Amino acid sequence: MKQNFLKYFVVGLFCALQSYAQNAPSVSGVFPNLAMVANHSPRTEAGTGGLMPWANRLWIITYVAHMTPTGSGTGLYEINDKMELKKRAESIVGTYANRFIHASTHQLIIGPYVVDTLGNVRLIEGVKKYRLAATMAHLTEPTKKVYFLSMEGEFFETDVTTLETKQLFNLMKELDEPVGSKPHFKSGFTKHGRVVVTNNSYNEKDYNGSWSAGRLAEWDGNTWKILEKTAFTEVWSAGSFGQPMIATGWDKASVLMNVYFPSTKEWKRYRLPKGSRTFDETSCTEWMRIREVETERALMDCHGLFYEIGYHTYGNQLWAIKPISSHLRIIPDFCSWRGMLVLGGNQATPMRFNSGIDNNPLAGQPQAGLWFGKTDDLWSFGKLQGEGGVWLDSEIKKGQPSDPFFTFNFNNKSLNLWHNSSISVKFDLEADIVGDGNYRKFQTITVNPKESKSIDFPESFNPKWIRLVADKDCVGTAYFTFK
């Protein structure tokens, strides 16, 4: 208790002294003078789509909620070392959440803007009217060109010197999206000779199986390949060491984490708990990211939980993953700047579209703020808790192991099992204690017909991953709860 008090006192004193010196008051890491506030007409969003340190400043782009480029208070901003916010004269209104450093030409690409090392800004006319979700390295001409992905699935190629742009694909067609589904492409990344993109379209039709609108897909420069037909939000790869490519999404049972291992050239699928089911819809999962925040260390924000995640892979396994804390924040982007961790935000979204109907009459002026702290502060956020299953009323095949489910460092672990078979089904519960892919049987659980069985695990039981194997074909559920 005394240590925590001393920690918070020192952090608070540091923030207070910093604020006093710069005449910029802060409250728990929030500087009100840095809020980005939109005007009242139209009432929309003002979320922070992207953050990036560059040219001795912190650069921010904000976004509106819709395709029509109308509104105010959104655009391109910069913050200097005196914690002063400035909106750039080159700003235009739009929906942008992309950021990328083009190393060969020493340029930051953020939204539809290109920024050199002196802070000079150019506007890419060919992409400015699209809702930009990601900028990616080019497969064949990486020193000259980049790719852009829009939320509606338009896929572009841009020359970073001339800014000449052409559209290459409409991914709604290339990826066989259901007619009538809402496109919501969220991320893209180039690594290991492939471009990987995500679309997190998901609503009740996805939940009940009427269609599958979400996508995880890759392109090798010739052919698009669909990897998963469910909602995926983020894809990222480390630039060194094992260089795994990690994509995160979800289905009705749990969070999905698909990992590409370059040594074996294969994708593996894992399952993680959902910190909260309030994220279970297309528009409720805004820009959950994986970012480097300390040298060669990354954070993963995923469905209401923060994780630390590593760059290395041993034995074709992703060893370094550990949950940190839970939260309900909308964090469209985060980064390190001047020794601080900076979290973007989207604090009020009073959306009104062309119908004139106010979708949120109890929310006021659109606004977004930033949170400044240290990476280690995340451990003081919400208690670790979550839920999710390897199966949820799913078809289960005899002898076929489920996807691995992540359980490490969560407390009060319990498992609920049921099935529809007319005879008893035995489930072998197998545990990977250290995360090396070696599973050993921990327990066999027999579930009788029409029975629902709950198992509480001992406190000392803390494997990295758990999987289950049934001895009969059936439709059933295996659902974990951590609290």
Q: Measured between alpha carbons, how far is 437 from 455 in angstroms, rounded to an integer?
A: 24
Query: Up-side HSE of residue 211: CA atoms within 13 Å toward CB?
Result: 14
Write down the pLDDT at residue 13.
42
Write down the pLDDT at residue 10.
45
Q: Measured between alpha carbons, how far is 189 from 452 in angstroms, rounded to an integer?
A: 43
Write down the pLDDT at residue 353.
57
Question: Peptide bond preceding 42: is omega within 30 degrees of 0, i.e. cis?
Answer: yes
Residue of 261, 242, 182 lying closest to 215 (CA atoms): 182
- C-beta of residue 305 within 8 angstroms of C-beta of residue 314: no
264: how many CB neighbours lie within 10 A of its CB?
A: 10
Could you report the average pLDDT of every consecutive run of 10 residues in the chain (483 residues)? Answer: 50 47 78 89 86 98 78 85 95 94 98 98 97 98 98 98 98 97 96 98 96 98 98 95 96 98 96 97 92 94 97 92 96 96 90 64 87 96 97 98 98 97 98 96 96 96 98 98 96
Ordered domains of the chain (ranges, CATH): 30-380 (2.130.10.10), 386-482 (2.60.120.260)
Q: Measured between alpha carbons, how far is 331 from 334 in angstroms, rounded to an integer?
A: 7
Residue 290 in tokens = 């994986």
Write down the pLDDT at residue 22.
55
- Specify the amino acid at residue 209: G
- Residues 123-138: pLDDT tens digits? 999 999 999 999 999 9
- Residues 328-360: pLDDT tens digits? 999 999 999 999 999 999 988 776 655 556 677
Residue 61 in tokens = 């782009």
- Residues 216-248: pLDDT tens digits? 999 999 999 999 999 999 999 988 899 999 999
- Specify the amino acid at residue 204: E
Q: Reduce the secondary structure of the chain to three states and give it as a string.
A: CHHHHHHHHHHHHHHHHHHHHHCCCCECCECHHHCEECCCCCCCCCEEEEEEEECCEEEEEEECCCCCCCCCCCCEEEECCCCCEEECCCCCCCCECCEEEEHHHCEEEECCEEECCCCCEEECCCCCCCCEEEEEECCCCCCCEEEEEECCCEEEEEECCCCCEEEEEEHHHHCCCCCCCCCCEEEEEEECCEEEEEECCCCHHHHHCCCCCCEEEEECCCCEEEEECCEEEEEEECCCCCCCEEEEEECCCCEEEEEEECCCCEEEEEEECECCHHHCCHHHCCCCCEEEEECCEEEEEECCEEEEECCCEECCEECCEEEEEECCCCCCCEEEECCEEEECCCCECCCECCCCCECCCCCCCCEECCEEECHHHHHHCECCCEEEEEEEEEEECCCCCCCCEECCCCCCEEEEEEECCCCCEEEEEEEECCCCCCCEEEEEEEECCCCCEEEECCCCCCCCEEEEEECCCEEEEEEEEEC
Write down the pLDDT at residue 366.
86
- C-beta of residue 224 within 8 angstroms of C-beta of residue 149: no
Write down the pLDDT at residue 167.
98
Write down the pLDDT at residue 25.
85
**Strands 165-170, 185-191: pairing kind:** unpaired
Write down the pLDDT at residue 12.
54
Write down the pLDDT at residue 356.
59
Threshold 0.85, pTM exceeds: yes
Mean pLDDT of the chain: 92
